[in-house]
Every structure is written in C-alpha cells, then in structure tokens.
Amino acid sequence: MGRRRRGRAINGWLNIDKPQGLTSTQVVGRVRRLTEARKIGHGGTLDPLATGVLPVALGEATKAIPYVMDASKVYEFVIRWGVATDTDDAEGAVIETVAERPTPEQVAAVLPAFTGEIEQVPPAYSAVRVGGARAYDLARQGETVELKPRRVVIDQLQIVNDPSLEPDETALRMLCGKGTYVRSLARDLGRELGTLGHVTRLRRCRVGPFDEATAISLDKLEELVHSAPPEQTVLPVETALDDIPAVALTEGEASRLKQGQTVHVPQRREGMVRAMADDVLIAVCELMDGRLKPLRVFNL
C-alpha cells in the first residue's frame, strides 16, 4: 500500500504581498505552515530586497505555474546612479563609484533604446544555471560568472514621480515579459548614460491576473486561516488561466480528456484553450482542426 502524503489537499492560489527581507522560498514556507497544504509552489522568484506580488500555488494550481511564469509583469523600482554593486542592487557590496549623475531629461532620452525586444545579460547573482550550478552560488564562491545575453521584451518603460527620492535616484515603472531582470536594466541604463547604476527599491505590482490591489500580507493570511478553513481563502485554480479562451465540454468529453484522449469539438479557433465542464477546469489543451489535445490535466 502506498504511503499517504501528509498535509491538506487544498487547490487554488494565494496572491501574497511579499515583504522585504524574505526570500520567495521563505514565503512559501510560511504559507505552507499556515495552510498545511500538501503541495505548494510559487509563480516567479522575487529577490529578498523586493516586495510585492508573489502568486503562491497550492495543490492542483501548481500545474498552472508555467503559465504564470510566462505572463507579463509590472515592476516599479528606484535606481541610484553613480554606484555599482556586485549584485546590481542595494544588498551587494560597492565595487565602483563615479562622479557622473544623469539628469531626468537624459534618463528619459535613453529609455526608448531599452523598450521592445532587447538583449540582456542576467546579473552574476541570479538563479541562471551555469554548468549545473546556480550563478549566485558560483559568484558567492568568488568564481567569475560569464552569462550569455538573452532576448527579453520590455513593453513599457517610463519615469514616475516619487517625492521620496534622493537627488541621485530615478524611479521607473516597467511592463515586461518573462525573464527580464530589473537589476540588469539598472546596470545597463547606467552604462548607457555614462555612469553606473543599481537598484535600491523594487516592487512587483502585477503578475498576469494577480495584482497588488488584491494581494494580502502574510499577517493577513494568518488572520484569515484562523477564522476560516484555508480552502475558503484561496482563489480558484483557473484564476491563473483567465486570459486563455474557454471551451465547454460535456461530462463524457471531459472524462475522455482526463484519460489523455483527443476530443472533437465544433470550434473554429485554434491554439491554447482551457477545457471546462460545469464550470470546473478540466485541462489546458491545444485546439487544432476541431481536435482538443490535453496538455495539462487538472484533478478538481
């Protein structure tokens, strides 16, 4: 007889407002202890310095994590000019300083060059794998990390007004795609402006359908789970798939799809869809020529 897995079978999402100073893994650990969830993961790492939206998946929602990782994201951040650190943010050690400081007009003038599809080298202190090891582990061991440039997409990049800024700082807001590093952008903007730059503040405001307006703190989560079962607190699994068109199935079609079989449907659209039966998520599928092929099946 198989060993029974410990924990509660909870399926859904928690939109957590990550506090500064905790890693994403530490946040997941707190959520696990509060909910006693059997299976849990998160939809995109935030640095300890960063705050903001961290979608946490429980149970069957973990199958939808790749779709959240691929979603667009919004960040607000502050760059300090004239100083470079080894991590490209305020948590690192200062490695170089220069006297040059850009004006707001100079910063605004270079932003279009960093909008659209661009090449970006990840920071040395990043989770990118180099020969099977994480880049940040190699960097902490004193090794020189050579990372290859990646193609990323920045849809919008603009200066925002922030009265709390120091004279050598600029606040920016960015809408971007998967894999974009804010720390790399700060570093590269500094170089383009003939100076240096690193991130002093960073907040993620949105990840796909998860927005900071509806995010809850860990303290708020603790209050909620003490007053009601965790199952009543989570968002539906399909929350992460809201931008994927839905196709309605009968019970028989849903049963065949769950068994991995292709289902014929009278649909003209093609591409990725989510199959639903009686408002219950069945699977994410590829639809082509009226055939539904299951890509990821959910047991809800």
> Is the Cβ–Cβ distance between 208 and 240 less than 8 Å?
yes
Distance, in Å, from the CA atom of 198 to the CA atom of 108, rounded to the nearest integer, reads: 17
What CA–CA distance (Å, rounded) separates 225 from 217? Answer: 12
Q: Tell me the CA end-to-end span of the chain in Å, nearest whole number.
A: 24
Measured in whole angstroms, the distance separating CA 95 from the mean position of its chain's CA atoms is: 29
Per annotation, catalytic residue among 17, 47, 88, 188:
47
Give pLDDT < 70 ranges for the chain: 1-5, 125-144, 267-268
CA distances, 293 to each of 66, 238, 241 (Å) = 18, 18, 17
Q: Which long-range contacts (CB under 8 A, 24 or more apart) does 163-169 make?
A: 165/78, 166/80, 167/101, 168/80, 168/81, 168/82, 168/101, 169/78, 169/79, 169/80, 169/81, 169/200
- Compute the distance between CA of residue 168 and CA of residue 163 in angstroms, rounded to an integer: 13
Query: d(Cα 171, Cα 63) in Å, to the nearest integer?
Result: 35
Is 18 in contact with 50 (CB distance < 8 Å)?
yes
Q: What pLDDT was estimated at residue 1?
A: 42
State the pLDDT at residue 143: 66
Question: Residue 203 corresponds to which amino acid?
Answer: R
Q: How many CB atoms lie within 10 A of CB 192?
A: 17
168 catalytic per annotation: no
Amino acid at 119: E
255 by Cβ neighbours in 10 Å (0-12 / 13-18 / 19+) ranks as middle
Phi, psi (rounded to 5 degrees) for 38: -70, -40
Domains and CATH numbers, the chain: 12-70+209-239 (3.30.2350.10), 73-207 (3.30.2350.10), 244-297 (2.30.130.10)
| pTM of this structure | 0.90
Cβ atoms of residues 224 and 3 within 8 Å: no
